[in-house]
Amino acid sequence: MIRIRDVVKQALATGYLSLEAENQLRRLLSTQYDWEDFNAFVILQEAAMSGKVKQESRERCGIN
């Protein structure tokens, strides 16, 4: 089973978070996850806020 940290690792490596990955994160965040996954998600949020990771959902609606 894929973990939050796996999705985050891919997004950080590519600098891009696809709609599919965002939806996957939503599903995963609605289940139980461990501290390492939580920390990975926080790192992803920081990367997105700083512009290191672009989000497909924000590009589609014109939000940068």
Could you tell me the pTM of the whole model? 0.87
Q: What is the overall mean pLDDT for the chain?
A: 94
Which residue is associated with the tokens 């289940």? 31
pLDDT of res. 46 = 98
> What average pLDDT does the segment 53-57 reach?
94
Looking at the chain, the whole-number percentage of residues with pLDDT higher than 90 is 86
SS3 55: strand
Please count the other Cβ atoms lying within 10 Å of the Cβ belonging to residue 55: 19
> What average pLDDT does the segment 25-45 reach?
98
Q: How many residues does the chain have?
A: 64
